[in-house]
């Protein structure tokens, strides 16, 4: 086995970009992109960690460790990885049921699955997820994320987290009388800046300006004795027995995920039963991570006119998610919005992702005390914008108007299942529905019918005892009965049957059994059969099934001219036999 055949697809994007040369201009572009995206990623990482039910520093650790490893090891030059909004819906129930320790175990297990997918060359996975399914569960995730942010945006009290979406909505409605004016003002101001700032300039990240405005307004409102919930009032850490508000000002530290608390506050008891319970979550996280990362890489390629290595990207994502839990990080994957910002800011190589991770690290070490003043309502406003962008409401409405009705139903069902139940069920049902639609459409394309002989000039001069049957489209379980049923309805005057199979690209086992049965029925009726234009793969399947040529009874022929020649010869032989 050659070295090339066993080389793992890791670090491919970094190797390819460095092989082209790394100039000062490239370094400048990567530094600017890393700085820009790092500034955007800091508040988003904290907000997303809070949204999945853990302390904000775990989101930052994800951006630092996951962002660094995946950028270096992956197959996309531009993917910026870290916590993303798409995972909120699936990670929050894990945190509620298994605590931080369980969440980190799921992250590590999903990393192993992603690594295996990359090794198995499953990088083209994204091609097998139909667009209505993808759009449906993405829009549904956006709706759920937006709903979860209403509590902090309005400062509602005693809402809690509920497993059912309808229960969550009911709890929010019941808590509306507890709305806090301070939080609402801060959230609204932040949201207005986030919406309006891109119309003024894109040189300065709108997230930074919005957070600054929200934080200054919060300080002013606190001076006026209006309650405003901040990150420091919600979260704290302890050093030497002293409690401090906010997040610890330290770089990520090595830890063992299974020593962290479960949902009941005690360390997890890792055993086979626990791993078996976490496996379905890990599979779902890995599937979503693969889809999100590969889709992000495709978007980046479209913007920068490059190509990524999908298998290397899966392996990089897997390696990052295997390592990040040992530093307190949660699930990481490529973020489309941050990646697009990086490309627009001048990124040239994966080093932009590395610099983005270092920016977050520096911010954690030097600015952690300032993070305590960030208003929770401002972080919620940021996630509301993320949810709106994820939902792609204008695009979804457009597709509802112009899309085929059956695809629209798939989209709506996926959306409803994501919101009311969970993403795993939505994607599973969506794929089943999309597959059923595909089967139906393929079956509609497959048909068989008796045709007039003059359709082929060579057959037009033959006697009426010759019939022509034409089969079009793939023969498979859903189409075979319709395509073959008419073959049994020829009257007793037919002695020769030409079956045109030039337009049959494939045949499955169900169709093979039905076709064999139909041919045997024709044999019993002593009808001679001529199979026209059977392609090599279908002919091989027929041969293996014992449906081969029978001397004087069944022939494989290349074209109608050869059929006409064989039938004339057979008629001549029959006449000669009759005279003798």
Residuewise pLDDT in 10s, the chain (580 residues):
444 445 677 899 999 998 988 999 999 999 999 999 999 999 999 999 999 999 999 999 999 999 999 999 999 999 999 999 989 989 999 999 999 999 999 999 999 999 999 999 888 877 778 889 889 988 999 999 999 999 999 999 988 778 788 999 999 999 999 999 999 999 999 999 999 998 988 778 888 899 999 999 999 999 999 999 999 999 999 888 899 999 999 999 999 998 998 888 888 888 999 999 999 999 999 999 999 999 899 889 988 888 999 999 999 999 999 999 999 999 999 999 899 999 999 999 999 999 999 999 999 999 999 999 999 999 999 999 999 998 889 999 999 999 899 999 999 999 999 899 877 788 789 888 988 888 888 888 888 888 888 888 888 888 989 999 999 999 988 888 888 888 878 888 899 999 999 999 999 999 998 998 888 888 888 899 999 999 999 988 888 877 766 666 788 999 999 999 988 888 888 888 777 6
Looking only at Cα atoms, what is the longest distance across the chain? 120
Gap between the Cα atoms of 18 and 21, Å rounded: 5
Contact 427, 137 (CB under 8 A): yes
Contact 301, 16 (CB under 8 A): no
Q: Quote the pTM value.
A: 0.83
Question: CA neighbours within 13 Å on the CB side: how many for 479?
Answer: 23
**Alpha carbon of 406 to those of 128, 358, 438: distances in Å?**
18, 47, 10
- Helix (H) or strand (E) holding 345, with range, is none
* Tokens describing residue 423: 């993403």
Gap between the Cα atoms of 241 and 73, Å rounded: 40
DSSP 227: -
First to last CA, the chain: 69
Query: Helix 165-175 vs helix 405-420: angle between axes, to the nearest 10 degrees?
Result: 60
């Amino acid at each position: 086995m050659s070295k090339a055949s066993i080389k793992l697809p890791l670090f491919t994007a970094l190797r390819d970009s460095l092989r082209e040369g790394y100039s000062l201009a490239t370094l400048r572009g990567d530094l600017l992109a890393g700085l820009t995206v790092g500034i955007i990623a800091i508040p988003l990482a904290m907000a997303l960690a809070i949204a999945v039910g853990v302390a904000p520093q775990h989101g930052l650790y994800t951006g630092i460790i996951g962002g660094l490893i995946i950028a270096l090891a992956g197959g996309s030059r531009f993917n910026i990885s870290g916590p993303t909004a798409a995972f909120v819906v699936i990670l929050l129930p894990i945190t509620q049921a298994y605590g931080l320790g369980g969440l980190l175990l799921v992250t590590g297990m999903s990393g192993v699955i992603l690594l295996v997918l990359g090794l198995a060359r499953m990088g083209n996975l994204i091609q097998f997820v139909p667009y209505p399914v993808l759009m449906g569960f993405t829009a549904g995730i956006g709706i759920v994320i937006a709903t979860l942010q209403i509590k902090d945006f309005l400062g509602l009290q005693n809402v809690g987290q509920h497993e059912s979406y309808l229960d969550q909505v009911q709890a929010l409605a019941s808590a509306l009388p507890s709305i806090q004016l301070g939080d609402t003002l801060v959230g609204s101001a932040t949201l207005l800046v986030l919406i309006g700032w891109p119309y003024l300039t894109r040189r300065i990240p709108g997230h930074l300006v919005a957070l600054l405005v929200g934080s200054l307004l919060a300080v002013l409102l606190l001076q006026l004795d209006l309650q405003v919930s901040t990150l420091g009032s919600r979260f704290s850490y302890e050093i030497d027995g002293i409690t401090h508000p906010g997040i610890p000002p330290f770089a990520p530290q090595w830890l063992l995920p299974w020593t962290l608390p479960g949902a009941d506050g005690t360390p997890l008891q890792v055993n086979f039963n626990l791993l078996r319970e976490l496996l379905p979550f890990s599979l779902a996280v890995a599937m979503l991570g693969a889809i999100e990362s590969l889709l992000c890489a495709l978007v980046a390629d479209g913007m920068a006119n490059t190509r990524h290595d999908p298998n290397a990207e899966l392996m990089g994502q897997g390696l990052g998610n295997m390592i990040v839990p040992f530093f307190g990080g949660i699930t990481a994957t490529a973020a489309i919005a941050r990646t697009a910002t990086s490309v627009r800011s001048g990124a040239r190589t994966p080093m932009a992702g590395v610099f983005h991770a270092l920016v977050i690290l520096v911010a954690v070490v030097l600015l952690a005390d300032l993070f305590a003043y960030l208003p929770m309502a401002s972080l919620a406003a940021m996630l509301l914008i993320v949810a709106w962008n994820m939902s792609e409401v204008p695009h979804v409405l457009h597709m509802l108007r112009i899309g085929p009705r059956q695809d629209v139903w798939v989209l709506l069902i996926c959306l409803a299942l994501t919101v009311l139940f969970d993403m795993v069920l939505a994607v599973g049902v969506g794929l089943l529905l999309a597959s059923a639609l595909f089967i139906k459409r393929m079956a509609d394309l497959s048909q068989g019918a008796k045709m007039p002989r003059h359709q082929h000039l060579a057959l037009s001069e033959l006697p009426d005892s010759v019939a022509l049957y034409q089969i079009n489209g793939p023969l498979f379980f859903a189409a075979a009965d319709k395509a073959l049923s008419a073959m049994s309805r020829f009257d007793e005057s037919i002695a020769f049957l030409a079956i045109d199979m030039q337009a049959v690209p494939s045949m499955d086992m169900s169709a093979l059994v039905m076709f064999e049965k139909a041919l045997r029925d024709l044999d019993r009726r002593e009808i001679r059969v001529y199979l026209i234009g059977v392609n090599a793969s279908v002919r091989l399947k027929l041969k293996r099934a014992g449906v081969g040529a029978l001397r004087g009874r069944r022939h494989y022929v290349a074209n109608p001219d050869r059929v006409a020649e064989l039938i004339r010869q057979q008629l001549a032989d029959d006449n000669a036999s009759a005279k003798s």
